[in-house]
Structure 1
Amino acid sequence: MIRLLMCTAPLLLVAGTATAQDHQHQPPPTRTPATAPAADPHAGHDMSPAPELVDPHAGHDMGAQPQTADPHAGHDMGGQAMGPQDVPTSADDAGRPRLPPPPPAVLSGPANAADAIWGEAAMTGARAVLRRENGDVRATAVIIDRLEVGFGDGEQTWLWDAGGWTGGDINRFWWKSEGEGDFDGEIEGEVQALYSRAILPFWDVQAGVRQDFREDGEDPTHLVLGLQGLAPYWWEVDAAAFLSTEGDLTARVEAEYDQRITQRLILQPRIEVEASASDIPELGLGSGLTHVEAGVRLRYEIAKEFAPYVGIEWSRDLGGTADLTRALGGDPEHTRFVIGLKAWF
């Protein structure tokens, strides 16, 4: 308290003196005009130029710094957004010492640690189940692609096109069968037995035999080499070459595509092309392209495994095959309306 009074006493004395002097020398009051200029807010301030700041780097050697090579020199960076740089890790550092190998005791135990607890016999069966459930699955399917009746050109015909497989993801046994007949009892068809192996995620190579059944009693047998899979834009392709026991070489390519209109209504374009390397008069075939079929089918999936359909199909013999067909009194071109069923199980 005493120190506070000692500090404030001089201030009070100065303030009191200034007040007395103001009362003694104060001029008489005058009337200030209404438009008197405002007092300068900077009056009495020292406005002399401020002293220059001292450069903190004065006396330092600021010579040209060595430039670092641009890692992107020569790269075309036009229109590219600059993303995070590829920062090397310790694995890329050639100067980093290599880790020592694990001690021998680490590998001294059983190949599978669980054998030491549950026994090798029990774990061998468990590992077999694990492999089977994670890629070694065996499955079987039967697919009826077309089972239909056709009406056109004053004739009624029917046909089948079916197949199936059994096996795993890599190796399978495939069977295929297709043919056609009329309601007068004439039937012609074929059956194939094939070994199929996956060579790409969506493609299988197939090899085997094909046996034909014909009305004229000529039932040739063929060796088969084919390729089946899913082409770009989801076209299902089945292509094969056939070499008969008579030395005749023929080929066939089928392609179809499912255009889903709704979850149940599906439009399916389909095309099939056949060719022969030589004239085969007994089969009514000329060399070159022999036959083409193109059609479209609209099916309704009552269930995923059961779908009736309707459609229209156009077919024509080509080249020398068309000439042979005309010579035998037939028509090389046909159009028919079809009703059928697609199923699988």
Structure 2
Amino acid sequence: MNRLVIALVPLMVAVAPVATQAQTAHGGHTTPPPPARTQTPSAPHAGHRTPAPAPARPTRPATGPHAGQRAPARPVVADLHAGHVAPTPPVATDPHAGHDMSTMTMGQSETPAQPETDPHAGHDMSTPPAATNPHAGHDMSTMAMGPPDVPTSADNPGRPPEAPVPVTALSGPTHAADLIYGAAAMAASRRGLVVENGDIRTTAVIVDRFEVSSGNGADSWLWDVQGWSGGDINRFWWKSEGEGEVGGNLESVEIQALYSRAVSPFWNLQTGVRQDVRRDGGDTTHLVLGIQGLAPHWWEVDAAAFLSTDGNLTARAEAEYDQRITQKWILQPRFEIKASANDIPELETGTGLTSVSAGLRLRYEFRKEFAPYLGVEWSRALGNTADYVEARGGQVDDTRVVIGLKAWF
């Protein structure tokens, strides 16, 4: 039986293509071919030719329980798109077609980058173009280049002349308010205004130095006090100085009575008399002419010339400055220089510069009106004055430690 099956295999292979078309799922039955359908133009595949089904593959011999039996042929499924010619996709148009892009760098291309073209190549830049003058061609010879066109009280060059004041402007009273309130009432008001805004009376007493000093000679003490009473412009000014030995007698006293007149915001011109009282009885009266005020850099200056009734002309100048370290601690340098126009043997004073002194005082202001201080002062006699001092056995120069008080009220 097996041999018969093996012998029929080649014959079955040859007949299989024909039998496949004539058989259905039911083996041995012949199915009549279906009637041909007329394709209408509206059918999606009208006019398409369906290709013939592919031949069946040869069947391998089987040895199982179904050996010799033929499996029903599967129906051939027709390809719906068989015979269709796929349209060729349109070629995208290159937007750069026809452009010369040989010099462009394409990312990391192996082609070396071409040098950039200088946008100023061929331009002559050796001489920059000159700025155009917006006033070129304008005639400016008649323009005034002086002070602004502002009316003034004087006919200055470059300014228009000022017209004279109309006569009617001066026909009325000096103060127009007199026509309304009366001349007497307004005169009293103007006097009160002057008092409140510039004619105020003030009085002050300044204790510039009240100190005790100790040095090579005997211990001594002195005072230097001044004050005034009056207004901002005119004042009565007085000054006083004196010195003596500690535990001893008063050596000399100086008193000045002065009229002071403000000649500028920071300076006062002073004139008056000075009276000297000495223990040895050589009292002298002097005429005084001086100036006192505030110099640049806040130096307080007091300078005066003295002409005595004996015909002796002397001068003295003092300067001091308050250097604030804090709001309470103040360091004050002080300088004084004296001169004489002639020799005064009874006063041990020679011609020229007679003496110079310099001191440094550190004070502490418990209040503005009360400030004790501690300092040092150096003095030296000069010229013929030094000769007089040496002749009586005195010392030409002296350095002393001082302690004192500065106050005002």
The CA deviation string for residues 149-192 of structure 1, in whole angstroms up to 9 with x for no partner, is: 11222522110001111112222111111121112123212001
Q: CA deviation at 1:203?
A: 1.3
C-alpha distance in 2 between matches for 1:100 and 1:288: 59
Aligned twin of 1:37 = 94
Aligned twin of 2:254 = 190
Greater Rg, structure 1 or structure 2? 2
The CA deviation string for residues 97-123 of structure 1, in whole angstroms up to 9 with x for no partner, is: 969937x4x766654444455444433
Query: Are residues 229 and 93 of structure 1, via their aligned partners in 2, closer, same or farther at CA, if it must alter by over 3 Å?
Result: closer
Task: Give SS of 1:155's match.
Answer: coil
C-alpha distance in 1 between matches for 2:87 and 2:148: 82
The CA deviation string for residues 225-265 of structure 1, in whole angstroms up to 9 with x for no partner, is: 11111111111111111111111111101000011111121
C-alpha distance in 1 between matches for 2:149 and 2:188: 45
How do residues 232-251 of structure 1 correspond to structure 2 at under 5 angstroms? 232-251=296-315
Q: CA deviation at 1:124?
A: 2.4
C-alpha distance in 2 between matches for 1:90 and 1:249: 53
CA contact (8 A) 2:147 2:159 kept: no
The residue identity in structure 2 corresponding to 1:221 is T
C-alpha distance in 2 between matches for 1:90 and 1:278: 58
Q: Identify the match of residue 358 of structure 2 among 286, 289, 294.
A: 294
Task: Give SS of 2:219's match.
Answer: strand
Aligned twin of 1:306 = 370
Query: Are residues 296 and 100 of structure 1, via their aligned partners in 2, closer, same or farther at CA, if it must alter by over 3 Å?
Result: closer
Aligned twin of 1:68 = 139
Query: Are residues 107 and 151 of structure 1, via their aligned partners in 2, closer, same or farther at CA, if it must alter by over 3 Å?
Result: same
TM-score w.r.t. the length of structure 2 is 0.62
* CA RMSD across the alignment: 3.1
Q: Identify the match of residue 236 of structure 2 among 173, 177, 189.
A: 173
Aligned twin of 1:210 = 274
**The structure with more helix, counted as a fraction of residues:** 1
Task: Give SS of 1:205's match.
Answer: strand
The residue identity in structure 2 corresponding to 1:178 is E
Greater shift, 268-277 or 200-209, is seen at 200-209
Q: Identify the match of residue 142 of structure 1 among 194, 200, 205.
A: 205
Structure 2: gaps spanning 5 or more residues:
1-85, 98-135, 153-157
C-alpha distance in 2 between matches for 1:257 and 1:89: 44
Greater shift, 107-116 or 210-219, is seen at 107-116
Aligned twin of 1:101 = 166
Structure showing greater relative contact order (alpha-carbon pairs closer than 8 Å, 6 or more residues apart): 1
CA contact (8 A) 2:148 2:159 kept: no
The residue identity in structure 2 corresponding to 1:282 is E
Greater shift, 280-289 or 111-120, is seen at 111-120
The residue identity in structure 2 corresponding to 1:68 is D
CA contact (8 A) 2:348 2:389 kept: yes
The residue identity in structure 2 corresponding to 1:223 is L
Q: Give the number of equivalent residue pairs.
A: 282
C-alpha distance in 1 between matches for 2:151 and 2:236: 50
Query: Are residues 298 and 125 of structure 1, via their aligned partners in 2, closer, same or farther at CA, if it must alter by over 3 Å?
Result: same
Q: Percent identity?
A: 60
Query: Are residues 99 and 257 of structure 1, via their aligned partners in 2, closer, same or farther at CA, if it must alter by over 3 Å?
Result: closer
**The structure with more strand, counted as a fraction of residues:** 1
Greater shift, 226-235 or 114-123, is seen at 114-123
The CA deviation string for residues 295-319 of structure 1, in whole angstroms up to 9 with x for no partner, is: 0111111111111111110111111
TM-score w.r.t. the length of structure 1 is 0.73
